[in-house]
Amino acid sequence: MSRKPLRMMAVGLAWLLALALPLAQVVAKEPAIFPDIQRILDAGVIRVALRAGDAAPMIMTDANGVPAGSEPDLARDLAKKLGVEAVFVRTADTYDGVVDVVARKEADIAVSYLSSGARRARYVFFSHPYIKQSGRLVYNRARFAELKRDHGIETLRAIAEDPVATELLMGVVAGSVYETNLERDFPTSRLRLFESLDAMMAAVRSGETFAAMHGGLQIDYYMRRNPATAIYVAVDPDIRQSSDIRIAIRPDAPNLLRWINLYLADHVGKLDDAEIVQRYLNQNRESE
C-alpha cells in the first residue's frame, strides 16, 4: 500500500477519535436520575408528613420538642440512605389528614403509622408493608359480663346481630381506617370518635364507651405502659383486622416509590410489632 492511502487512513482515524472523545466524555458522566428523586436531591431534604398528635411508640415528641419514636427514626434513616435530611411536616390532626398532606404534595412521603385502604390508595402510592400488625378490639369487662348475663351473648361478634347493639358505643380514633371497619362489622352500633388512643382507652376503662378498635401495636404498648387497665379492659382474642403499616408517597413520584420499596427490602424488612413495643418500652425505662 502506498504512503498516500496510509496518510489518509491516519487522518480519518484521527478525525473519528476527535468525534468520539466528546461522546465518551458524555457517556462517562453520571447517568440522569429520575426527576422525582432528583427534585428531592436538589432540595437536600425529604419532607415527611407526620401526625401532629403523638401516638406512642410510633410517634412521640421528646423533651426538646423533636419528633421521636419508631416512625421518625425510620424516616431519618431513609433520608440518610437517600443522601438528604428529613424535615417533618406535622400539620395534620388525623391519619386521613396525613394522607391528604401527601396527596396535595405538601410532603414527599408520610411515615406515620399508616395503613393503606382502598380509599386512601386513590390519592397516593403506598409502599410495601414494613410492619405486620392487626387491628384489635378492646372492650369493658364489666359491661360485657352484663351482656352475657342479660342477653346471653357469648362473643363480641354476636353483638352485631343482637338488638342491644344499638345501645352500645364503639370507639375509634378519628381519621383512622378503623372507622370503616367498625361501621362494617357493627353497623347498628353508635360510633364515637376520639382524638387520641389515650382518651379512647380511658373511655372504655370507665365504661362510657363499651368497646373500641385500633392497631394492635399501639394497644399492646398502651396496656403494658398502663398495666392496671387490664383489670377493667380486655382485648378480644378473635377479632383481628389486617392493617399492615406502609409509607405513603406523593402521586407524582413513582420512581421514589420503587426506591423506597428497595430500601425497605434491603434495610428494614418486615418488622415485628412486639419487637417495636419492647424496644421503646426499654427506652422509656432508661429515660425515667
pLDDT tens digits for range 139-158: 999 999 999 999 999 999 89
Other C-beta atoms within 10 Å of 147: how many? 22
CA 137 to centroid of chain Cα atoms: 20
- As a whole-number percent, the residues of the chain with pLDDT over 90 amount to 66
How many whole angstroms separate alpha carbon 159 and alpha carbon 187?
11
Assigned C-alpha cell, 12: 480519518
Q: Is 66 exposed, middle or buried (0-12, 13-18, 19+ CB in 10 A)?
A: exposed
Residue whose C-alpha is closest to residue 246's, from 230, 261, 266: 261
Assigned C-alpha cell, 243: 392493617
Same fold, 35-132+245-287 and 134-242: yes
Q: Is 25 exposed, middle or buried (0-12, 13-18, 19+ CB in 10 A)?
A: exposed
Residue whose C-alpha is closest to residue 162's, from 173, 146, 176, 175: 146
pTM score of the predicted model: 0.78
Question: Considering the chain, what is the average pLDDT of its residues?
Answer: 87
State yes or no: pLDDT of 2 exceeds 80. Answer: no
- Residue showing cell 381519621: 175
State yes or no: pLDDT of 1 exceeds 90. Answer: no
State yes or no: pLDDT of 234 exceeds 70. Answer: yes
Q: What is the CATH number of domain 35-132+245-287?
A: 3.40.190.10
How far, in Å, are 136, 184, 234 from residue 161 at the CA level? Answer: 20, 12, 21
Q: How confident is the model at residue 170 (pLDDT cuts 50, 70, 90)?
A: very high
Angle at CA 286, nearest 5°, toward 276 and 222? 45
Class of domain 134-242: alpha beta
Residue whose C-alpha is closest to residue 70's, from 285, 241, 266, 283: 283
Q: Look at residue 193 in the predicted model and tell me its pLDDT.
A: 96
DSSP 185-225: HSTTSEEEEES-HHHHHHHHHHTSSSEEEEEHHHHHHHHHH
Q: How do residues 25-53 score in pLDDT, each as one tens digit?
A: 544 566 778 999 999 999 999 999 999 99
State yes or no: pLDDT of 15 exceeds 60. Answer: no
Q: How confident is the model at residue 288 (pLDDT cuts 50, 70, 90)?
A: low
How many whole angstroms separate alpha carbon 86 and alpha carbon 274?
26
Q: Look at residue 261 in the predicted model and tell me its pLDDT.
A: 96
Q: How confident is the model at residue 268 (pLDDT cuts 50, 70, 90)?
A: confident
Domain range summary for the chain, segments of one domain joined by +: 35-132+245-287, 134-242
Asked if residues 263 and 206 have their Cβ atoms less than 8 Å apart, the reply is no
Q: Which of 95-99, 104-108, 117-121, 240-244 has the lowest mean pLDDT?
A: 240-244
More confident site: 273 or 230: 230
CA-based radius of gyration for the chain:
27
